[in-house]
Amino acid sequence: MDGDVKHILIVVSISTFAFWLSSAMLRPIFPLYLDNVGFTAFELGIVLTIPQLLSIFLRVPLARYSRRMGRIKFLTLAILLNTISIFLYFLFTSKPIITFIRLIHTLPIAAFGPVAMAYVSIITPEKGRGGIMGLYLTSVGLSIFLGPLVTSAVTTVMDIEYVFIWASLPSFLAFTLLISTRRNSIIDIELDNEVIAEPLIKGFKRILNYRGFILICLSALLYSMSMGFMRAFLPLFLKDTYFLEASLISLLYSLRGFSNVISRPLAGHLSDKIGVGILVVTGLFISALTLFGLSLTPPIEFVAVLLALFGVSWGVRAVSSINFIGFYLDERDREVGMALFYNMFDIGVSIGAITTGYLLELFTYSEILNILGGLVLLASIITLPLAIKRY
């Protein structure tokens, strides 16, 4: 691996860490903040899933456009818009304005992740790619761990709205790092004009002819319904069931993030050794067990253990799924493939959050967790062919 590739891997990894750190800082308190502002449970579910709903339509064209613009420039613009959006949440408390800001925030959320991951996958040598991708995705896991920890510290001494100011800082620092990078002409990969001009339908046909990719997407759709609950209603579940304050809820998020981050390098290494299929199935199965466990409303100590276990399964599933796309999709199809994979996740998160907001009028948290656990268990069964064929 030459020096230019190492340089861009470091820059993109740091920027990815900062981008998701900002997001992770908001995750424990954003539902609580919306609840304080006056959103109903149904409205809360809709507002939280606006990025996922709109990203379904935005990710593929944005991924294609990143090739023309240059990926580093594209990521720089995305992270600037992310910084501005987060800061605007602090300035306004009106429900319509918050909803409008959420619409703006959709653009960087839709754009950054798949483009950054596809870029790293493309510039990484095939030999040892699983391990390198595992290390890169560890930057995401590290942000998931540290973000709630910072939020817990901030909410201990300040009101929750001040988290928005602190959350905008990592994103702003990443913007300054990217904009100060003067080596774009060397390290950014320019695809030939034929590939850029290729009709999108050709890429879709190549991707959808691959059965393994379809199975990965179906599993992501089912799994992400549980993540819709986790993102929108886990803080409220912990608040309503265990009467926890925002600082303690953030600590539990941080515990889940810690187990997530330590699992990712190992999952990347194992991807090269035993194949990604076995890891995908294992991660999904463990996730299902933890959801069933949470449905029993155990003592808070066991809740902490279950959330830590969910973090491990999350890290294993995330790394192995991304590595699957990196290993088995053609290089020219990876950005669109990543975008489609993310879309499945977005659809599932949207369905999970909005449906949960409606079902809470009819069912208890425990009943909803059992339903979600069953869906994730089904996802693990669907992906069994990937393990049997030793992908």
Which residues, in sequence order, are CB contacts of 247 under 8 Å at separation 6+?
A: 152, 153, 155, 156
How many angstroms separate the CA atoms of 220 and 348, rounded? 8
What is the reported pTM? Answer: 0.74
8 Å CB contact between 354 and 363: no
Q: Which domains does the chain have, with CATH numbers?
A: 3-388 (1.20.1250.20)
- Please report the pLDDT score of residue 336 as a whole number: 80
8 Å CB contact between 332 and 199: no
Structure tokens at 130: 């699983």
Structure tokens at 291: 């959801």
- Please report the pLDDT score of residue 327 as a whole number: 75
- Please report the pLDDT score of residue 182 as a whole number: 52
- Please report the pLDDT score of residue 192 as a whole number: 42
Length in residues, the chain: 391
- Please report the pLDDT score of residue 107 as a whole number: 94
Which residues, in sequence order, are CB contacts of 260 under 8 Å at separation 6+?
A: 141, 144, 145, 311, 312, 314, 315
- Please report the pLDDT score of residue 198 as a whole number: 61
Torsion of CA 70, 105, 353, 91, to 10 degrees: 160
Torsion of CA 128, 134, 135, 140, to 10 degrees: 160
- Tell me the pLDDT of the chain (391 aa) as tens digits: 566 777 888 889 999 999 999 999 998 899 999 999 999 888 888 898 898 888 888 888 888 888 788 888 899 999 999 999 999 999 998 999 999 999 999 999 998 988 898 888 888 877 777 778 888 888 888 998 899 999 999 999 999 999 999 999 999 999 999 888 755 444 454 444 445 556 667 777 788 778 888 999 999 999 999 988 888 889 989 999 999 988 899 899 889 989 998 998 888 888 878 878 899 999 999 999 999 999 999 999 999 999 999 999 999 999 899 888 877 777 777 778 888 888 898 899 888 888 888 888 889 999 999 999 999 999 999 999 988 765 5
- Please report the pLDDT score of residue 194 as a whole number: 43
- Please report the pLDDT score of residue 98 as a whole number: 96
End-to-end CA distance of the chain: 25
- Please report the pLDDT score of residue 389 as a whole number: 66
Please name which of 354, 281, 344, 316 lies closest in space to residue 114, comparing C-alpha atoms: 344
Which residues, in sequence order, are CB contacts of 56 under 8 Å at separation 6+?
A: 343, 346, 347, 350
